[in-house]
Structure 1
Amino acid sequence: MVRWPWRKDTATAPTSTVSDSDARPGTDDARQPTAPGAGSTQQEVRHSGNATATDGGIAVSGIYTSTVHLPPEALRPPAGVDAPAGLDDLPHRPGHFVGRGHELDRLDAALAAPGTALVQAVHGLGGIGKSTLAAHWAATRPHGHAPIRWITADSPAAVQQGLAHLATALQPALARALPDKELSEWALQWLASHTGWLLILDNVNDPADITPLIARTPGGRFLITSRLATAWNDAGTLVRLDVLEPAESLALFTRTATTQHPGRDLEGAADLCDELGHLPLAIEQAAAYLAQNPLTTPRTYLHLLAQHPAAMYRHGAATTPAERTIARIWNITLDRITHLQPQAADLLRTLAWYAPEHIPTTLADGGAADPPTRNAALGLLNAYSMITTDPTTSTLAVHRLVQALARTPDSDDPHRTPMLIDHAREQATTNLHIALPTTWNIPTTWLTWRTLLPHIDALTDHTTEETDTDTTAELLNDTAGFLRNQGLLARAIRYLQRALTTCERVLGEDHPDTLISRNNLALAYQSAGHLKSAIPLYEQTLTDQLRVLDEDDPPVLTTRYNLAGAHLEAGHLEKAIALYVQTLTDQLQVLGEDHPETLASIGGLGRAFRLVGHLDRGILLCRRALAGQLRVLGEDHPHTMASRSNLADAYREAGHLEDAISLYEQTLTIRERVLGKDHPDTLASSNDLAGAHRKAGHLKIAISLHEQTLTDQLRVLGEDHPHTMASRSNLAESYESAGDLKRAILLYMKAISTYERVLGDDYPHTFDLRRRLANVYRSAGFPDRAIPLYEKILASCERVLGREHPLTVMARDDLTDAVAERDSARSG
């Protein structure tokens, strides 16, 4: 160790030799050597280790002694050394900088404030642009600090190295005499004795690495960048850096991608920026790739990202440093996180399978860790900005690109091996399955369902059927029940199709869960009006169940009941009644009269009798079902509400309109209270009430209710939902009853077009609507327009129902009458 020439000494000698243990900088043991001549100072330095000294040094084994000649000005104490001009060493800054005006203004205000040891910290996710912001601010804003020194501060050694470089920049000759440790000490003393400088401490991993530096230089100005979010409570100003605004990220992408090829086609760039989550580093990496590959478009890059994510996250353009790619940036953080707590890395990979925002803490389970360990893992991820937490809602958020990388397997990445990715996916599936409510038709569970649904959707979108397990199938089955209850039928069908495929592959064709899944899919098809798909699926399920189960097993009874309902809606009334009777007989024997499924079958049979014209028997059975459900289930149960509506239908058909309206109003009131005004069943009750008012001649009330119901259903359910289609046709009928034939015709035409597109030409309601429109044309005196419709109805009825079916006979009579009217009009 060299003796420091700026200390007052107690003894002088021309040369002196000490070891590292003999003295420390800043102690009285450090003695000033005597200059050997007028123009230079000679020092003899002893170091441990093997080395070859140059510039007059003598090489020895194990210990070497070197003689260094320093000019007199190099021996001045740090306090007496002024910083020369041109000492700033900001790193190369990106050519394009966008946005961040608010953050720059905050740094302006904070670093201009008077005081000592002023510390500011900029924190955020790796790749968010912390270093870029710091460099841009230091280079372009009028902060008045000089010199500006940039120190990479990700370790104690790096801090020491940065200070040594500062000492060398101030006194270049010292580098020939002092090792880094002593150069660092010299720089510390210089900083402590000067003002006006700014140190940017970049990428601090541990505040302890820079605490001694800040403590010894109380007059300094420090700007810190760090991924740590929770370690800067003592900072004068804490700036949290978030992603760019969409317009800013698009501007950054456009400027970078068009550097070499101005005016190139960047169609799809906004979508690419969205996919990259508006993260600056990802935007720059993608734009640099496009700049280097002018034939690659943003759409092509999106496709590459979807098909080859591991490679695209790992590689940028040829000029992109390997350490500045998304994969490398986050791997550095994950290396440290894994070293500190491996469970945190497991948890991050699990969180990657959910939606990016509003992740309930109930889903934050990376495995078998105990709650304290899990909480510590969450805290560590939050500290390193890999997640953000919202204490007010007890939810988490993860940047979508962090998620995309964390769920992408890469055999070359120790944090993303296929085995780790598979484990995380299975853990996420298990977490969601455990968090599901036990039922989906009770309103008190709906908030939980709605909270979990985005994360179930995300898991489904990010996985494939090949990786699904029986747990996945059960998760999708249960979720589809909620979706069907809420009127989201297309999504329910997709989930059930996938669940059934998985059950068949994993469990086999005859497994009870497979049979339940097939029944559930048929029920969803039925709810959507796809009876041609529902009925064969029910029949297949029933056949398979009867092969492996007894005829009166509850699953068999359920499937037979559902099949009866499907035949009823398809107009196969005799088949429906026979199935209801068989099912009810078995249920009375096996389950008893008060069982909810038995009561449902009683109501279903009553509805069937009503549709075949046996109104008295239908009303009697509907009353019996409602009384039992009120007694067993209560008036707020969905089955009870459905039975009250069925009884109201029977009263309406029988002409008891006051009774029907009263029951419809009761049902509507209860459903609004229990289910909410926008629930599909509530809107259906509003439509039913409007229909009863129409039949009672209250046309103004009916039209007003129908118009409001249709508006709400279009908003909530969409144009293609069966309830919406029914409401449109009912409104047309009300206009027809009011004599507004022009509006009625337009609505009937729209309704027919929708039914044909969604359900097909042969759906029973499509027949009925064509007949209604044809009747309106006849009423308006246009039999020529009615005849093609009647011909189409007759052909469909004969093909689907047979020549002797009542609807076929009715269609034939309608056509005969219309032709007669036309001929009569022509002859007259």
Structure 2
Amino acid sequence: MEIVKIIQDQLSSHVDTAAVRFKGLCEDLEEVLNSILKVVQQLQTEPRGISSRFKEVMKQGSTADEISAYRRKIQELRSNFMFMAAIDTNLQLHKALSMAIPSSLPPTQVTQSVTKCPPPSRIFHGRQIILDTMHHFFEQDLGKQHVFLLHGLGGAGKTQTALKFIQESSSRFSDIFLIDTSMVETIDTGLKNIAATKNVGSTADDALQWLSSHSSEWMLLFDNADDPKINLHKFLPDCNHGNILITSRNPGLQVYAGSHFPVSDMEEPDAVKLLLKSAAKEFTSSNQVIAAEITLWYLPLAIIQTGAFISKSGALVTYLDLFKKNKARLLREQPTQSHADYAWTVYTTWQISFDQLSKQAQTLLQLWSFLHHEGISEDIFSHASAYEPHSHPSGPSVEELCEPISFLSQFIDPAGVWDSLHFIEATTEMKSYSLVNFDPDKKSFSVHPLVHSWTRTTLADPQLFHYSMIAIVGMAIADIPRQDMPLASSNLLPHVDSLIHGDGNVNPDFRHEYAKLYWWAHRFKDAEQLQLAVLECRGDIRGEDHPDTLIAMGNLALTYHQLGQLKDAEKLEVVVLEKRRRILGEDHLETLWAMGNLAWTYHQLGQLKEAEKLEVVVLEKRRRILGEDHPETLHAMGNLALTYNKLGQLKEAEKLEVVVLEKGRKILGEDHPATLHSMGNLAWTYHQLGQLKEAEKLEVVVLEKQRRTLGEDCPETLHAMGNLALTYNKLGQLKEAEELGVMVLEKRRKILGEDHRYTLRAMHNLAFTYHSLHRFPEAETLYVDLLVKRKAVLGDDHPHTLEALADLAATRQAMDGSRTSNRLKKFFRLTRI
């Protein structure tokens, strides 16, 4: 009776899986009874002692026969309970025991017994878009087979959504069968129960045959089809009718479905309502505001678990602070009171999936937990695998890179080449449990923020994995060609931010690579901080004249240049050039690079004659050493052309830029960043020459290609947009100029900040457009703001400050003229009247 009581308690607390649990419990009890039977039979053979007492009992009836009879009764109950549980999900075991159900029921009773699935949770909320999609799908082409897949992360609410749909649609289905699809054994048992229920046999094949031959509108729900190793195909009825609904973590089951829907995070309003419902809190405006702050990325199971904790503790207001400090503990806690009969916590459900992964896939997911949760690409790892420590003497040693190299080597084929197929196999494992998602258009992976955070809790040594991921990204940056850096920087930037602001600092040997990435992303302040550290470290360890130290000094100078700290850049560049000349000689390529960098700083400082002298030397020597068609020669030619442009020698500039563009197209291709840069420079020269239509043609091409290859927010794209806006302004296409100018200023402010020189240039250009449109008050507002900022950043006497002052004066004069003109017009109208 104690055993029966335990069975009853288990069933009442696991209603939706009662049939399967009852089967297992009965089998356990049979084993106990069999062991007792063996002991009794053994005792019967002994002459004295306990056996004599048993013999006395046996005289009154065979104990063995009674036990055998009880075992048969258990077996009968097990079969009958399968459909009894479907009649009433709250059916208690004692009711089943008291009902002497015959082994075969009348067909009418059987049909009714299987048409009732467990209802969804009482607090089920939202998912209306999914439900509407399912209703639309199943209501089309009646009489034909419909297969629909709900797939997503564990805890996303797939089963509850399926049950809600069945509850809403139950009247249109002739029979509803729910099968636990978590194991082959439970699938087999579910199908056998259908056969027994329909009185058509006792095997899974009998059930499939019945489903295939009965063209009624039955519904077959395969719930929790999560195991990717199970071939679901052999359990699907082979027919063209009926309705099948599958819930799974494995999106790969789409191959069976006529339609599917990814079940992920809820919409915020639905998530807030679910949280307050599960927390038993009133739906007041103040509670809604608090709930909106603490909903955990709108994942249903996390929300319900949070609500249960708040309901128990009353900690609605303080929950967010508690969560920040005790995230892992709270998401592991199983609530005692819950609206849903779900045995797992948020973390438990993911741990079960994680445990099914191979060691390789587990390690990959753990490394990803230190990257940004979106935009994770195979390229990061393939580039890193090509890193050769001996080719980077200033970088870490092979011993220091032991862990990341060892991991990456698993994806290298015998020929030493990156094995993309092997990587796909590892990521497919993760996708099959919805632990990660893949965007085929962007060719990148993403991890749910909560899974991303949880994965770190699986690590015994987080520091080791953090360092390994820092190294892998550093190795990847080192392998990316210079011409690909603009695009790569936008893709890698979120990951670098995540690694740097993680649990530790960037390894000193990779600060140089990370600074390079920030520089290409125009995050110059971040680049400066890392470059200062690199310069100090290299100067202390390798000495002031070491090539690595001079490279670090030159890089910092370039960053100062971009920050507008031109005098600081000049000081460093003079030192670098002097040391290069002394150590390497006048004609060394590194010396020429140093000379070109100093010339560009002189250009920006307005010292154009000094810039011209150096640039002529650089171009002449590169032509002689590298040849006319070398990219570095073309780069020097382009720089000299820009200086000629500033000096007003526009025809000389045009000649050089035409050559640079022609050779760039031939050598690098139409879409190469360097080709687009030279195209933009030639367009600007045409602009200066007044050949505005030629300028417009080139600038439209540049902008279109930059948008396509680099994206809307890339600095190069915004530069091209600003140039085209100026040309439109000159052409009198002021509305087009305004549209582009507003966009450039808005993006510059957001990306670079209010005071950056590129933001100020965008402000100046838009103010000029407003002036041209005779919208003088708007122009004046921008010019005043511009003048204040340029005075603060550049000083009162800088040419750009004086330029802003002159333009503000012109706008105010135009405003006064406009007012005077309006007064005169009014006077003449009155006179005529």
With normalisation by structure 1, the TM-score equals 0.62
**Larger helix proportion, structure 1 or 2?**
2
- The secondary structure found in structure 2 opposite 1:259 is coil
Percent identity reads 21
Distance, in Å, in 1 between the alignment partners of 2:311 and 2:222 is 32
Distance, in Å, in 2 between the alignment partners of 1:213 and 1:743 is 70
Given candidates 20, 36, 41, the residue that maps to 1:52 is: 36
Distance, in Å, in 1 between the alignment partners of 2:683 and 2:259 is 64
Structure 2 stretches lacking a partner, 5+ long: 1-28, 46-62, 77-98, 383-406, 412-418, 708-716, 818-833
- The secondary structure found in structure 1 opposite 2:124 is coil
Q: Which has the larger radius of gyration?
A: 1
Q: 1:515 to 1:136 in 2, by over 3 A?
A: farther
1:126 and 2:154 correspond: yes
Q: 1:149 to 1:599 in 2, by over 3 A?
A: closer
- The secondary structure found in structure 2 opposite 1:749 is helix
Name the residue aligned to 1:661. Answer: 690
Given candidates 87, 95, 103, the residue that maps to 1:77 is: 103
- Structure-to-structure mapping, 1:631-646, within 5 angstroms: 637=675, 644=682
Given candidates 395, 398, 404, the residue that maps to 2:452 is: 404
- The secondary structure found in structure 2 opposite 1:457 is helix
User: How far off is 1:315 after superposition?
Assistant: 4.5
The one of the two structures with greater contact order (alpha-carbon pairs below 8 A, sep at least 6) is 2
Preserved contact between residue 272 and residue 288 of structure 2 (Cα < 8 Å): no
Preserved contact between residue 641 and residue 657 of structure 2 (Cα < 8 Å): no
Given candidates 777, 786, 808, the residue that maps to 1:751 is: 786
Name the residue aligned to 1:324. Answer: 344
1:468 and 2:506 correspond: yes
Distance, in Å, in 2 between the alignment partners of 1:168 and 1:597 is 81
Distance, in Å, in 2 between the alignment partners of 1:162 and 1:210 is 14
Distance, in Å, in 2 between the alignment partners of 1:620 and 1:76 is 104
Name the residue aligned to 2:224. Answer: 203
Name the residue aligned to 2:741. Answer: 710
Name the aligned partner's letter for residue 377 of structure 1: A
Preserved contact between residue 148 and residue 258 of structure 2 (Cα < 8 Å): yes
- The secondary structure found in structure 1 opposite 2:431 is helix
Given candidates 255, 265, 281, the residue that maps to 2:301 is: 281
Distance, in Å, in 2 between the alignment partners of 1:627 and 1:218 is 67
Preserved contact between residue 355 and residue 454 of structure 1 (Cα < 8 Å): no
Distance, in Å, in 2 between the alignment partners of 1:147 and 1:606 is 80
Preserved contact between residue 201 and residue 224 of structure 1 (Cα < 8 Å): yes
Name the aligned partner's letter for residue 170 of structure 2: P
Q: 1:318 to 1:535 in 2, by over 3 A?
A: farther
Distance, in Å, in 2 between the alignment partners of 1:738 and 1:124 is 54
User: How far off is 1:469 after superposition?
Assistant: 5.0
- Structure-to-structure mapping, 1:294-333, within 5 angstroms: 294-295=314-315, 297=317, 300=320, 304-305=323-324, 310-311=328-329, 313-315=331-333, 324-333=344-353
Name the aligned partner's letter for residue 494 of structure 1: D
Preserved contact between residue 90 and residue 149 of structure 1 (Cα < 8 Å): yes
Distance, in Å, in 1 between the alignment partners of 2:233 and 2:773 is 84
User: How far off is 1:439 after superposition?
Assistant: 0.4
Preserved contact between residue 408 and residue 421 of structure 1 (Cα < 8 Å): no
Given candidates 566, 569, 592, the residue that maps to 2:604 is: 569
Name the residue aligned to 2:170. Answer: 142
Name the aligned partner's letter for residue 526 of structure 2: R
Name the aligned partner's letter for residue 151 of structure 2: H
User: How far off is 1:534 after superposition?
Assistant: 4.3
Name the residue aligned to 1:345. Answer: 362
Name the residue aligned to 2:701. Answer: 673
Name the residue aligned to 2:801. Answer: 766
User: How far off is 1:717 after superposition?
Assistant: 3.9
Q: 1:126 to 1:514 in 2, by over 3 A?
A: farther
User: How far off is 1:129 after superposition?
Assistant: 0.7
Preserved contact between residue 770 and residue 778 of structure 2 (Cα < 8 Å): yes
Name the aligned partner's letter for residue 97 of structure 1: F
User: How far off is 1:424 after superposition?
Assistant: 5.4
Name the aligned partner's letter for residue 67 of structure 1: E
Q: 1:671 to 1:143 in 2, by over 3 A?
A: same
Name the aligned partner's letter for residue 446 of structure 2: V
1:230 and 2:230 correspond: no
User: How far off is 1:111 after superposition?
Assistant: 8.1
- Structure-to-structure mapping, 1:522-671, within 5 angstroms: 522-527=557-562, 529-531=564-566, 534-535=569-570, 538=573, 553-571=588-606, 573=607, 577-578=609-610, 581=613, 584-585=616-617, 588=620, 592=624, 622=653, 626=657, 629=660, 637=675, 644=682, 660-662=689-691, 666-671=694-699
User: How far off is 1:65 after superposition?
Assistant: 4.4
- Structure-to-structure mapping, 1:415-564, within 5 angstroms: 419=464, 423=468, 426-427=471-472, 430=475, 436=480, 438-440=482-484, 449=487, 455-464=491-500, 466=504, 468=506, 473=511, 476=514, 479-480=517-518, 482-483=520-521, 489=522, 491=523, 493-495=525-527, 497-498=529-530, 501=533, 512=547, 515-516=550-551, 519-527=554-562, 529-531=564-566, 534-535=569-570, 538=573, 553-564=588-599
Distance, in Å, in 2 between the alignment partners of 1:198 and 1:721 is 63
Distance, in Å, in 2 between the alignment partners of 1:781 and 1:46 is 102
Distance, in Å, in 2 between the alignment partners of 1:300 and 1:289 is 12
Given candidates 350, 370, 373, the residue that maps to 2:422 is: 373
Preserved contact between residue 252 and residue 284 of structure 1 (Cα < 8 Å): yes
Distance, in Å, in 1 between the alignment partners of 2:146 and 2:638 is 78
- The secondary structure found in structure 2 opposite 1:230 is helix
Structure 1 stretches lacking a partner, 5+ long: 1-44, 171-183, 484-488, 653-659, 694-699, 783-828
Which whole-Å deviations, capped at 9, do the CAs of 1:339-398 have from their partners, x for residues lacking one? xxx43334444555666667666568684333443333344333333344566x373543
Distance, in Å, in 1 between the alignment partners of 2:147 and 2:657 is 73
Name the aligned partner's letter for residue 468 of structure 1: V
Preserved contact between residue 115 and residue 175 of structure 2 (Cα < 8 Å): yes
- The secondary structure found in structure 2 opposite 1:225 is strand
Preserved contact between residue 676 and residue 702 of structure 2 (Cα < 8 Å): no
Preserved contact between residue 89 and residue 150 of structure 1 (Cα < 8 Å): no
Distance, in Å, in 2 between the alignment partners of 1:99 and 1:530 is 55
Name the aligned partner's letter for residue 230 of structure 1: G
User: How far off is 1:752 after superposition?
Assistant: 0.9
Q: 1:731 to 1:258 in 2, by over 3 A?
A: same
